[in-house]
Amino acid sequence: MLRCFFIFLLPLLPASLLSQDAIRMAPFPKAVELGSPGLWGTLESYKVRLSCPPQYLSFISIPSERTEWKFPFETAPQLEKYLSESGLTPDEIAYLLEEAQVFPAEESLRVFPSPEVIIGMPTALRAKFYRILARFPENTFHRRPAFLNTANVSRYFYDSHFKVEMLRLIATLSYPTPSGHGFFLSDIPYLMKQAMSSEEERQLLNALLRVPALMVRLNLSDLTSAEELTDYWTAGFKNKQVRPLFESVMGNTHVDRLDVGHLLPPMARRSLNSFPEQSDGLDGRYPDWFWTCYNFFRFTPRNVYANSEEFDTLIQSEFMKSQDLYEFGDLLLLKSKGRTVHGCIYIADDIVYTKNGSGLFSPTILMKLQDVVAYHDLEGDVILEHYRNTSTKRSISHFPTGVAEVN
C-alpha cells in the first residue's frame, strides 16, 4: 500500500533546509494548520491539490523521454565557455556533456544528455546547472519546473497512484529551489520512461500538473475585537461588499469558522481555486499574475497584463509604494535583478492570492508567501516590493437615471 511509504527528500537537503522543512514531515494524516493570530483573527489552513479539467490534458503534447537542453550558442566551445563562466567546474562540464549528442540548430545548440547523466547527477550540481538552464526560455521544464513545497514526496503525490519506484525516482530527480524553500522537479521527460502506456503518460502528467492550493478559513471561536476584524477584511472601502455577510456571521454565535473565500471580493472569489476557462482566452490570451492582481478589487475585470503598455502607468496611478505592515489586498511584487518576475495579493498571515502562470494549467489559488517566492525565485535573489491599492473609483456614489428601481 502506498500509505506505508514515506519518501522524504531529507537526505538530499543541505543543513540549512532541515529545520525549515522538518515541520512538513509529519506522517499521514496531514492536519489543519493553525496560523498566527493578528488583525485578521486566526486562520486555519490545509492543502489540497487541484487537478485541471480532464479535457485540458488532451491539449498537451506528450514530451519525449529523451531529455533536451537548449542553449543560444552556435558551437560547443562557446557553450563550455559559458558554463564555465556561470560557475561550473571543468569536471562538472565534462560530466554533463559526457556522451551527450549535440545538434546545432537555428542559432542554438540542442544537447541530448545521456540518461545516465540525468539519473546520476549529484543534487548540488543539478540545482546549480538547472538554474543556468532556466535562464533560457526554450528549456521549458527548467524555466518552469514542478514545485514541490514539501519534502514528503509520498504525501505530495498522494492519490496519484504512483508506484514506490516512481516516488523514489522523483525524490532522486528533485533539487532544492534557489531560495532554499521547497524543491523543483524538471526532469519530466526522464520520468516518461516509467509510463508504459498512453494512459499512464496522462496519469503522470496529470499528477505533475496538479497544483497545491491552500483552503483557508477564519476561526471565529475566539473573537477579541469584531470591529477590528471587520476593518481588516473590508480593507476600508475597497472590500465593502463583504461587510453585510461578515457582520451577520460575526453576530451568529453558532458559527465557529468562515471560509475565507466568502471574504474575497466577488471577482477574486470567482477565480479562486479555478483553472482558466477556455473562454477566458477568447481575446487571445489568458489571465496572468498582473491581470489577477489588478482585478482583485474590481467587479468587472479589465484586460491588462504584465507586459501591457499600461503596466507602469497603472502601478503609478492606482498603487502607492508602502512601508507599512502588509494588509488585505496589498500588491506584492517579486523583483529579481530589478525586473518584476511575479506579483500576488496579500490576504493575511503570510497567505497570498496568486496566479503563478499565464496558461490554462495555472489556477488562481491561495498560497503561503514563502512558497510563492520559492516558486518564482529562479536566481535566489528575489526581493519583495509592497504596494497599496489607492484607487477609489470603483465606488458607486450615485445611481443614474434609468436604473431598475424595483424592490
**Residue 405 touching another protein (CB under 8 A):** yes
**Residue 274 touching another protein (CB under 8 A):** yes
Among residues 224 and 300, whose Cβ is nearest to another protein?
300
Q: Which of 252, 303, 313, 316 lies at the binding interface for another protein (CB under 8 A)?
A: 252
Q: Which of 300, 309, 324, 339 lies at the binding interface for another protein (CB under 8 A)?
A: 300
Binding residues for another protein restricted to 37-56, rule: CB under 8 A: 44, 46-51, 53-55
Strands 319-321 and 383-389 come out as antiparallel
Among residues 4 and 399, whose Cβ is nearest to another protein?
399
What is the phi/psi pair of residue 392, to 5°?
-120, 10
Residue 70 DSSP label: E
Q: Which of 99, 116, 228, 259 lies at the binding interface for another protein (CB under 8 A)?
A: 259
Residue 198 DSSP label: H
Nearest in space to 147 (alpha carbons), one of 132, 135, 130, 162: 130
User: For residue 104, what are the β-bridge partners?
Assistant: 109
- State the residue for C-alpha cell 489552513: 45
Residue 245 is placed in which grid cell? 455577510
Radius of gyration, alpha carbons of the chain: 23
Measure CA 342 to chain center.
10
Stretch that binds another protein, among 115-123, 348-356, 373-381, 394-402 (CB under 8 A): 394-402
Distance CA(2)–CA(19), nearest Å, equals: 26
Name the CA dihedral angle for 184, 190, 195, 197, rounded to a multiple of 10 degrees. 120
CA angle 368, 371, 374 (to 5 degrees): 155
Stretch that binds another protein, among 9-17, 66-74, 177-185, 264-272 (CB under 8 A): 264-272
**Residue 210 touching another protein (CB under 8 A):** yes
Among residues 47 and 342, whose Cβ is nearest to another protein?
47
Nearest in space to 49 (alpha carbons), one of 127, 157, 203: 157
3-class DSSP assignment, residue 105: strand
Nearest in space to 147 (alpha carbons), one of 190, 183, 172: 183
**Residue 219 touching another protein (CB under 8 A):** no
Stretch that binds another protein, among 77-85, 126-134, 161-169, 267-275 (CB under 8 A): 267-275
Residue 307 DSSP label: T
**Residue 273 touching another protein (CB under 8 A):** yes
Binding residues for another protein restricted to 117-176, rule: CB under 8 A: 158-159
Stretch that binds another protein, among 6-14, 66-74, 180-188, 250-258 (CB under 8 A): 250-258
Number of residues that bind another protein (CB under 8 A): 65
**Residue 15 touching another protein (CB under 8 A):** no
**Residue 23 touching another protein (CB under 8 A):** no
**Residue 284 touching another protein (CB under 8 A):** no
The CB-of-291 to another protein minimum distance in angstroms stands at: 15
Q: Which of 31, 197, 198, 283 lies at the binding interface for another protein (CB under 8 A)?
A: 31
Q: Which of 124, 223, 245, 325 lies at the binding interface for another protein (CB under 8 A)?
A: 245
3-class DSSP assignment, residue 387: strand
Distance CA(283)–CA(265), nearest Å, equals: 24
Among residues 19 and 279, whose Cβ is nearest to another protein?
279
Q: Which of 262, 318, 335, 336 lies at the binding interface for another protein (CB under 8 A)?
A: 262
Nearest in space to 244 (alpha carbons), one of 271, 268, 262: 262
**Residue 103 touching another protein (CB under 8 A):** no
Q: Residue 37 CB: number of other CB atoms within 10 A?
A: 13
Whether a cis peptide bond, with omega within 30° of 0, leads into 14 is no
The CB-of-19 to another protein minimum distance in angstroms stands at: 23
- Residues lying near another protein in the complex (CB under 8 A): 28-32, 44, 46-51, 53-55, 158-159, 210, 215, 217, 240-245, 247-249, 252-255, 257-259, 261-262, 266-267, 269-275, 277-280, 299-300, 395-400, 402-407
